[in-house]
Structure 1
Amino acid sequence: MSASPVEEQPGDTRSNEELTAATAAGLRWITYARMIIEALLLVSMVVLARLIPPAAFGVYAVVTIVQELTMTLPMESTSSALVQRRSVGREHLQGALSLGLLIGIGLALVTMVIAQLLAKPIYGAETATLLMIVAPTFLLGAVNAIPLAVLRRRLDFKSIGIISIASTFARVAGMIGLALAGLDASALVLGTTISVVVSIALGLFFAPIPLPRWRPQAMRDLFPYSGPASLATLAWTGFRNGDYAIIGARLGAAQAGLYWRGYQLAVEYQRKISIVMTEMAMPILSRTAGHDELHALRRRMVRLLTVVLFPFLVLLVLLGPVVVPWLFGPEWEPAVLPAQILAAGGAATLVIDAAGSGMAAAGRTKAMLGYGIAHFVVYAGTVVIVSPHGLTAVAIAAAVIHTLFLVVAYQVLLGERALRSLWGDIAPASVGCIAMAIVGVPLAWAMNRAGAPVLVQIAIVGAFSGVAYLLTVRATFADCWSDLCAALRRIVPSAALELLARVPRFRVARSGNAA
């Protein structure tokens, strides 16, 4: 870790044209990386669902609260503070690493205490043991965050994509190998730890960083961002995972595992795909010249993100009852209805993430902190109240709370323009999804009644409803369609684009600008 990092010069801003070009250049690498990653995760998801029982996933769902925190806390605090600053030097990297390691030691000790005093009596000895194993990972997360911050500042999405693919492959191989060896929840936990080690090794290869040193002034430079961001991350992690802990404590590990599966399908897997955009959003938006430029570029990103991902949520609702038991096994069928309900929460969470990128790029960490705490407290309190009524009640509560806090996020971000701007951001995807549902709902019902094979149902419902979606977006939102085509030109082979260009265009009176 002795090589010198790149020194940034003050005033590291770029025009929206330059940042759009950087986005386009990085989009191919990040997209291909996510396609490979999601293929690997899909394989592991299916294999592990058949090797490991739902109750073990319930144990993992509780442990993953801490395991996720070991990675997100340094990434969203010290790493993002380095990315958001207009200029950084060697001393900032040294100070950030020192600060991260110090915080990591403290959190590791706190985790060990919680494992013995709280987790063991509530969730059992296995959960407590796994938390003890996870605790030292806080130190790995602190090291992992700094080289990734350097790569994000460089907008080096190619290297970031390579790191993501390699670490995911290590995670999948580790989980499946350990599960085949007879481990259950331990296989899931240890496989994730293996992936972090691989990420660190590659991160240091692509972006060597200096050894940690105590740099008080540099730490003070970072703290106005990293301090509130750390607290916001704690709240955000609690919001994303606290429901698993509550359900596990009140309904048992098996019910927590089923809810975990439903939430993964409806919310988390879409968010993993949305990382294609959100990984680029914060460093790119941080380089914009001013407030108006930031929000103009953010809107284009949100529209593109929702147009790509909202249709998958509609397909989950349409095909979930046949696809989930077929893919994961009949023991996972109780997760279907919660997943369908949570699709609305998944759509809201995607847009909330994009709004969060805008606030982070603008340095509004106090607003993020207040928002994160409020979201967590309201959601966790609601889950405590409704969880005795079962998973369906929890799913309905989650969908409602996430949707309400989507409106709150836009109010915090944009003030009086909130509702109009929110509709402008999601209108292309929402209108297209209405057309998709009009075609897909009766078609899915008829094919299910007819007993068509699952693969045939997926192909036919997906094809016809997908065409309806594309035709609607192209006919009613020409500007968004142009952005989608521009993104596809960076990603999809030219032969496939020629077919897409043949989609007929219907002109309507409505303007393409939904704002």
Structure 2
Amino acid sequence: MHSVRWLSVAQASKVLGQLVSVVVLSRLLPPSAYGVMALAGVMLTFASLLRDLGTGAAIIQRKNLSPVLADTVFWLNVAMGLGLGLILAAAAYPISLFFREPELFPVMLLMSLGFPLGAVTAVHQAWMERHARFRELAILDVFTQVGGLCLSIGCALAGWGVYAFVVPSLFTIGVSSTWLWFKSGFKPGRQWSREEFRSLWGFSGSLTAFNFINYFARNADSMIIGRMLGAGPLGQYGMAYKLMLFPVQHMSWVVGRALLPRLSGIQDDLPAVREVYFKVLGGIALLSMPIMVGLWSLRDPFVAVVLSAKWAIVAPLLGWLAPVGIMQSLMSTIGSTLTSQGRTAALFQLGIFNTATVLAGFFLGAQYGVVGVAAGYFVANSVNFVVTVVCMGRWLQATPGPLWRQMKAPVVSSVVMALVLYGAGIGFEHIVLPLKLQLGMLIAVGAAVYLGVLGLAFGLSPQSLLRTLKGKS
């Protein structure tokens, strides 16, 4: 897909930027700064769901988009953005008292400014995505990512602590909103339609409800750790979670963002939807599995080299969270797929089950500390993964055979890579080499083995691999 190419450029810049950020900022900032920002992020993510209400997806999914609907969505988003900004500002102090973190108060006050700014151009971004203008969006993403990273490092060097995260965030929102307003081509009018608003709720209501349910599943760990254990342990857990999540999250985001418009265009052709969906899963697995299996296999030297001694607990946390990364990367496509079919009610029902399972895992695991939370998260995601695969098979009227044909190459190749890395790690115990050199050599060995098995056992050359990832036959 042409759109995937440009989205991949934008996400590659974000991945690179976040890698640099992790390596540099983890040495300049304490875990408590990460913890405070994680607590603020819990509240901000919740407010973001309220602001959008799934209306962006409605703009993209509608076959025939009327100006009245676009205007209705615009004014709804503006009202929600302004209201939520005020609510967050008013709630900042009580929330800081609940989590016993005084620094959370000014952080949330500043971050609340982003909601009215972002809400004004939410429709503008959806408008550009609907018209597949991903090249322009990619350029914007790269610019704001580079600018935000420079600001973040500068603030950290200046000793600004947690504000090294706050300032770049406001910069990104401000620049993005200004650019989208003038460049998107969408010009909001003054129209408002009750009928269009009611039709929006029929589509977006279940989608928003699913997003709320999914929010609690993804953020309950931060709330539990922040309340029970404090900002320091939350910062350490958040670092492990970020290392697990952001590579697969960005890859899945690229595919998911391009997947909804594509599937919406063929929503009445179920066999075609199945074919695209399975190819997308195979493409995600080809990338996410070796990264997460490699991270799991090399977690101890990776943490020692990339982070520092104050982050040592991240290694055992990754032992539980890296496998979760594989499962979540594959499950991340269900939202776009079911939304394209108009089955947001089914998405909501699945979200209820998944959230209940994850919450149970968090509460049981929290009795054993931060590592227990990670272990509970792994068990809950394993259950949810099996249930999700079964449900998607029924809803798409699919059999296991076509899915396994897409998945067997990355699964087998990743398992072989893990076994080789295990043996190589034992061998390096008897060789005196700098840890950085050992890690570099092991990464090279793992990549060579993975690509070698793909080529020798499954006939996937680098060229055919690229075609597969692009979704071409």
Report how far residue 123 of structure 1 moved. Answer: 2.9
Query: Could you tell me how far apart the structure 2 residues matched to 1:192 and 1:139 are?
Result: 14
- State the match for 1:81 in structure 2: 58
- Within the candidate set 289, 292, 313, 2:271 is matched to 292
* Alignment pair present for 1:369 and 2:358: no
Report how far residue 79 of structure 1 moved. Answer: 0.6
- State the match for 1:90 in structure 2: 67
- State the match for 1:404 in structure 2: 383
Give the conservation status (yes or no) of the 8 Å contact 2:99–2:226: no
Query: Could you tell me how far apart the structure 1 residues matched to 2:30 and 2:425 are?
Result: 30
Report how far residue 422 of structure 1 moved. Answer: 5.6
Give the conservation status (yes or no) of the 8 Å contact 1:259–1:338: yes
- State the match for 1:380 in structure 2: 359
Taking only aligned residues, the RMSD between alpha carbons, in angstroms, comes to: 2.6
- Within the candidate set 170, 187, 195, 1:193 is matched to 170
- State the match for 1:459 in structure 2: 440
- State the match for 1:302 in structure 2: 281
- State the match for 1:253 in structure 2: 231
Aligned to 2:265, the other structure's residue is in SS state coil
Which amino acid is 1:183 matched to? W
Report how far residue 153 of structure 1 moved. Answer: 0.9
Give the conservation status (yes or no) of the 8 Å contact 2:5–2:470: no
- State the match for 1:232 in structure 2: 210
Aligned residues with identical type, % of pairs: 24
Query: Could you tell me how far apart the structure 2 residues matched to 1:414 and 1:351 are?
Result: 14
* Alignment pair present for 1:470 and 2:470: no
Give the conservation status (yes or no) of the 8 Å contact 1:171–1:195: yes
- Within the candidate set 137, 140, 151, 1:174 is matched to 151
Give the conservation status (yes or no) of the 8 Å contact 2:296–2:323: no
Query: Could you tell me how far apart the structure 2 residues matched to 1:296 and 1:433 are?
Result: 24
- State the match for 2:246 in structure 1: 268
Mark the CA change 1:406 to 1:428 in structure 2 (over 3 Å): closer, same or farther: same
Mark the CA change 1:106 to 1:75 in structure 2 (over 3 Å): closer, same or farther: closer
* Alignment pair present for 1:435 and 2:435: no
Unpaired runs of 5+ in structure 2? none
Q: How many residues align?
A: 469
Report how far residue 205 of structure 1 moved. Answer: 3.4
Aligned to 2:107, the other structure's residue is in SS state helix
Mark the CA change 1:449 to 1:65 in structure 2 (over 3 Å): closer, same or farther: farther
Deviations 1:428-480 (A, max 9, x none): 22111111112111112322452422343233222322222223233444589
Mark the CA change 1:426 to 1:68 in structure 2 (over 3 Å): closer, same or farther: farther
- Within the candidate set 288, 296, 317, 1:317 is matched to 296
Mark the CA change 1:394 to 1:261 in structure 2 (over 3 Å): closer, same or farther: same
Aligned to 1:307, the other structure's residue is in SS state helix
Query: Could you tell me how far apart the structure 1 residues matched to 2:247 and 2:100 are?
Result: 26
Deviations 1:89-115 (A, max 9, x none): 222221111111222234334434543
Unpaired runs of 5+ in structure 1? 1-22, 492-515
Which amino acid is 1:280 matched to? A
- State the match for 2:310 in structure 1: 331
Give the conservation status (yes or no) of the 8 Å contact 1:410–1:422: no
Query: Could you tell me how far apart the structure 2 residues matched to 1:259 and 1:330 are?
Result: 15
Query: Could you tell me how far apart the structure 2 residues matched to 1:273 and 1:204 are?
Result: 27
Deviations 1:214-270 (A, max 9, x none): 232332332222222222222222222221121111111111011001111112332
Which amino acid is 2:447 matched to? G
Give the conservation status (yes or no) of the 8 Å contact 1:473–1:481: no
Give the conservation status (yes or no) of the 8 Å contact 1:46–1:327: yes
Aligned to 2:64, the other structure's residue is in SS state coil
Deviations 1:165-218 (A, max 9, x none): 122223222322222232222321232122111221222233132235323233
Mark the CA change 1:227 to 1:106 in structure 2 (over 3 Å): closer, same or farther: farther
Report how far residue 55 of structure 1 moved. Answer: 1.0
Which amino acid is 1:328 matched to? L
Report how far residue 74 of structure 1 moved. Answer: 4.9
Mark the CA change 1:92 to 1:476 in structure 2 (over 3 Å): closer, same or farther: farther
- Within the candidate set 107, 115, 131, 1:154 is matched to 131
Report how far residue 77 of structure 1 moved. Answer: 0.6
Mark the CA change 1:454 to 1:151 in structure 2 (over 3 Å): closer, same or farther: farther
TM-score, normalising length from structure 2?
Answer: 0.91
Query: Could you tell me how far apart the structure 2 residues matched to 1:278 and 1:451 are?
Result: 45
Report how far residue 332 of structure 1 moved. Answer: 0.8
